């Protein structure tokens, strides 16, 4: 099996495996936990384009147990790899592996079945999606803050945006090779810092039996926000968390006089 692919056959599946399949022309992947007998437990969302859902949409955003055919939707089967090296982490496509170690299959299946009965909370593209659900089942790590995600697909997108935006262009190497190395290095650093295996003060190991209390508190905050703000404003506020650093960096590197900026490096 090559480093760039974790495609597997159904006969290679083991209960507790984190699996995924690419959809919409390989533009994004859908994740779930294989249990047994050709069944997959995964987080689904309501129909249409949904960035994040409210409590009124929770009936459409739920954890379900589907057969493999429905989960794959004619796509190919892949296995998410855990405990990979940093080298493998960087050369593989985001959303296919993690530095974090997986818990034993018994714990993974316990979390998956418990969440099947009790739910995982409302779907949120930016910090509680199907990949976050599967990573939680495998590791026990969950976002306990207002922002952030272990989803490799989401974190890589914001890492790429920030890597390009926060480069101090007036001090860039003159060559294109130097520019590429600086951008690539910053992107790798930002992507690595958001992985479940690196640790983050907003992410903690939470027992699945206590997850409902955490979700209830989160939903209460969401309902209060919905009463005060429109859906678009809430979405922009979430995006602003990830991109807020861009604004301040632009102010530092472009609005500060060059002689003042140079003093900071002396």
For residue range 189-211, what is the model confidence (pLDDT) as tens digits? 878 877 877 665 556 778 888 87
Residues known to be catalytic: 30, 42, 130
Check residue 234 and give its pLDDT. 55
Q: Judge residue 226's burial from the number of C-beta atoms within 10 Å of its C-beta, 0-12 exposed, 13-18 middle, 19 or more buried.
A: middle
Check residue 227 and give its pLDDT. 41
List of domains in the chain: 10-264 (3.90.1720.10)
- Give the residue ranges of the chain where pLDDT is below 50: 1-3, 50, 52-59, 217, 220-230, 259-266
Say if pTM beats, i.e. exceeds, 0.85: no
Which residues touch 37 (CB under 8 Å, ≥6 apart)? none
Which residues touch 208 (CB under 8 Å, ≥6 apart)? 110, 111, 114, 115, 140
How far, in Å, CA of 132 to CA of 140, rounded? 10
Check residue 150 and give its pLDDT. 65
Check residue 80 and give its pLDDT. 96
Q: Judge residue 249's burial from the number of C-beta atoms within 10 Å of its C-beta, 0-12 exposed, 13-18 middle, 19 or more buried.
A: middle
Check residue 171 and give its pLDDT. 57
């Amino acid at each position: 099996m090559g480093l760039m692919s974790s495609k597997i056959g159904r006969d290679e599946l083991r209960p507790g495996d984190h699996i995924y399949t690419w959809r919409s022309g390989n533009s994004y992947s859908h994740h779930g936990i294989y249990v047994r007998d050709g069944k997959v437990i995964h987080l689904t969302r309501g129909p249409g384009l949904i960035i994040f859902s409210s409590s009124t949409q929770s009936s459409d955003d739920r954890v379900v147990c589907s057969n493999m055919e429905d989960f794959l939707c004619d796509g190919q089967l892949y296995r998410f790899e855990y405990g990979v090296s940093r080298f493998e982490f960087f050369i593989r496509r985001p959303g296919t592996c993690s530095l974090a170690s997986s818990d034993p299959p018994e714990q993974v299946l316990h979390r998956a079945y418990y969440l099947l009965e009790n739910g995982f909370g409302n779907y949120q593209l930016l910090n509680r999606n199907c990949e976050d659900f599967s990573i939680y089942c495998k590791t026990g790590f969950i976002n306990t803050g207002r922002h952030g995600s272990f989803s490799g697909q989401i974190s890589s997108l914001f890492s790429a945006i920030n890597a390009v935006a926060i480069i101090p262009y007036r001090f860039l190497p003159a060559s294109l090779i130097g520019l590429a190395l600086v951008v690539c290095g910053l992107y790798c650093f930002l992507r690595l810092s958001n992985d479940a295996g690196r640790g983050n003060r907003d992410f903690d190991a939470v027992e699945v039996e206590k997850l409902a209390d955490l979700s209830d508190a989160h939903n209460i905050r969401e309902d209060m926000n919905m009463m005060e703000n429109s859906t678009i404003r809430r979405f922009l506020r979430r995006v602003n968390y990830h991109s807020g650093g861009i604004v301040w960096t632009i102010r530092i590197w472009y609005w500060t006089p060059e002689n003042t900026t140079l003093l900071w490096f002396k």
